[in-house]
Amino acid sequence: MNSDTLQGAWKQLRGNVKEAFGKLTDDDLLQADGNADKILGSLQSRYGYTKEEAQNEWDKFSSKHTARADAAKSDLNAAADDVKAAASHVKDATRR
């Protein structure tokens, strides 16, 4: 998950971050405010991770949540296509 994506989704992700990394405090999350470098620093501090370990844990978290977001986006696109198709059928039926 890149920094821009993280910044945009930070409010929604805070709960997921807190759930995944329970040692992080609300203050840690407030201070990070969607900044990945600050989150990594907090992970190092709270968990005793090396920089590489913190990055690996964050990458795992990011991959999981990016995959969920991509799946939701795909589902929404499919639903939109279904609505468009249904609207087209209704439009055709009313023309007859």
Mean pLDDT, residues 4-11: 62
* Total-model pTM: 0.60
pLDDT of residue 73: 63
Q: For residue 20, give both structure tokens.
A: 């995944």
pLDDT of residue 69: 59
pLDDT of residue 94: 79
pLDDT of residue 13: 80
Q: For residue 15, give both structure tokens.
A: 């709960």
Phi-psi sector, 2: left (phi>0), alpha (psi -120 to 50), beta: beta
> pLDDT at residue 52 above 90?
yes
- Cα distances (angstroms) measured from residue 65 to each of 3, 82, 85: 14, 26, 30
Residue ranges per structural domain of the chain: 3-69
Q: For residue 3, give both structure tokens.
A: 């920094």
Nearest by Cα to 54 from 91, 17, 11: 17
User: Could you tell me the pLDDT band of residue 22, with boundaries at 50, 70 and 90?
Assistant: very high
Asked: is 3-69 a CATH 3.40.50.1000 domain? The reply is no
Q: For residue 55, give both structure tokens.
A: 């990055």
